[in-house]
Structure 1
Amino acid sequence: MPRAQCAICYRPTSYCYCSRIKKVTNSWPVFIVQDVRESRHPIGTARIAALSLSQAEMITLDPDRPDSIGDLLEGAFSRPLRNPVLIYPGDDAGEVNELHVADPFAGEPRDLLFIDASWGRSLRMLNVFPALTSLPKFSLGELPVSRYRIRKQPAIDAVSTLEAIVHTLHLLEPARDFSAMLTTMDWVVDQQIRRMGNKVYQANYLLRQRK
């Protein structure tokens, strides 16, 4: 019999993190396009951001069925995106901390778009959704080691979607504290490690990360 699931965070009710969510106000709106495969991951982090931020919205896309989506920037979200930028690394990407300077509408927050997917699937999403490729890209500079300890990252400087969102907002809105979202993620990670047992974690996650 399937376990009861929270209708909000989609976690089993015994591991629901809704009570751990702290509402945070953000001036730069956050929009997340999530790969359908990521939506099935039991401890994805993007939903924490969507539930925590005052201005955040997430949709789920299937890059294997790109024709199922119309105009991604105009009609996929609850409103058309306004002067959006894609937060994504690349040789053609500027740096997030330059957004204020690079912004032709200086002082007016732009819509921030994030892709929530594995590295390979995010590249596929860029290939099949031209609207994403057309956006100006901005990337994060040096980042601390990821706190998302239960998923092997593709590179030492890779971070979870939630961490990317938090670091971006910290750069753009330094007067505000967005770290409560990381605290929620830490709790979710700790619960998952406790559930699997330290021996399994050491063998399948921690030791792999040290290699």
Structure 2
Amino acid sequence: MTRSICDKCQFVACDCICMHLQQIINQTHVVVLQHSSEVNNAKNTVRLARLMYRNLTVLIGENSNDFLYLKQLPLATTALLYPGTDSFLLDGDISDIKLTHLIVLDGTWKKANKLFFTIDILKQLRQVSFQQLPENRYHLRKANRSDSLSSLEAIAYALSCTEGLSMAPAYSALDAMMENQFKYMPAEVRARYKSE
């Protein structure tokens, strides 16, 4: 028997989270480079970001040929969200930075790092990061770095720093998605996730 799927959020109808999604008009165009292995992952938060942020493009692939779109972007005002040693801190004084496009790598840290070293144009971009991260609220996926956020949280925090946009809508959508995942878990597993 085929389960009904919500046309908008693409979750199973009984797990529809449309009522938790708020349309946000962001000025900075966010471009997500999503590793191919993330596309069908039920825990992938980019699907939420795509539904929420008006100016957001998702590109899928694993090498430079998959991301030729990047060559169209203005190098001077495009930045890569990446925690390099010389990264410009978005949660610091950003009065001197003009940003029209923000590139976000989506995948496990290992896969995101591989995208960084595989896609040559990324080395030409200014790198931006954060000095102080908000608490990671996405408990469904284990990050092996202390400075990790889900892609949705990272996008929301970056836009809160650069445009003053509230992170509350992102958290609302994230919480709704997590609750849907929790309800299918055995009670002891659910309790362990919720206590972390």
Confirm or deny a common fold (TM above 0.5): yes
Given the alignment, which residue of 86, 91, 100 partners 2:94?
A: 100
Checking the alignment, whether the CA contact within 8 Å between 2:31 and 2:104 is kept in structure 1 is yes
Percent identity for Structure 1 against Structure 2: 24
The equivalences for 1:89-168 within 5 A come to: 89-98=83-92, 100-103=94-97, 106=98, 109-168=99-158
Checking the alignment, whether the CA contact within 8 Å between 2:60 and 2:66 is kept in structure 1 is no
Shift of 1:37: 0.8
CA distance in 1, matches of 2:166, 2:64: 39
In the alignment, residue 115 of structure 2 is paired with which amino acid?
M
Structure 1 position 201 matched with structure 2 position 190:
yes
Checking the alignment, whether the CA contact within 8 Å between 1:24 and 1:53 is kept in structure 2 is yes
C-alpha distance after superposition, 1:72-109 (max 9, x if no partner): 413xxxxx323310011111211113573443xx4xx4
Aligned length: 194
* 1:37 aligned residue: 37
Structure 2 runs not aligned, ≥5 long: none
Q: Give the TM-score of the pair, scaled to structure 2.
A: 0.87
CA distance in 2, matches of 1:134, 1:2: 47
CA distance in 1, matches of 2:48, 2:93: 24
Structure 1 position 188 matched with structure 2 position 185:
no
In the alignment, residue 71 of structure 1 is paired with which amino acid?
L
C-alpha distance after superposition, 1:126-155 (max 9, x if no partner): 121111222110001211221101111112
Aligned partner of residue 124 in structure 1, secondary structure: helix
Aligned partner of residue 186 in structure 1, secondary structure: helix
Shift of 1:70: 5.8
Q: Give the TM-score of the pair, scaled to structure 1.
A: 0.81
Q: CA, structure 1 residues 148+12, in 2 after alignment: closer, same or farther (shift >3 Å)?
A: same
Q: Which runs of 4+ in 1 moved over 4 A?
A: none
Let me know the Cα RMSD of the aligned residues.
2.2
Aligned partner of residue 43 in structure 2, secondary structure: coil
* 2:60 aligned residue: 60
In the alignment, residue 87 of structure 2 is paired with which amino acid?
A
CA distance in 1, matches of 2:81, 2:115: 14
* 1:77 aligned residue: none
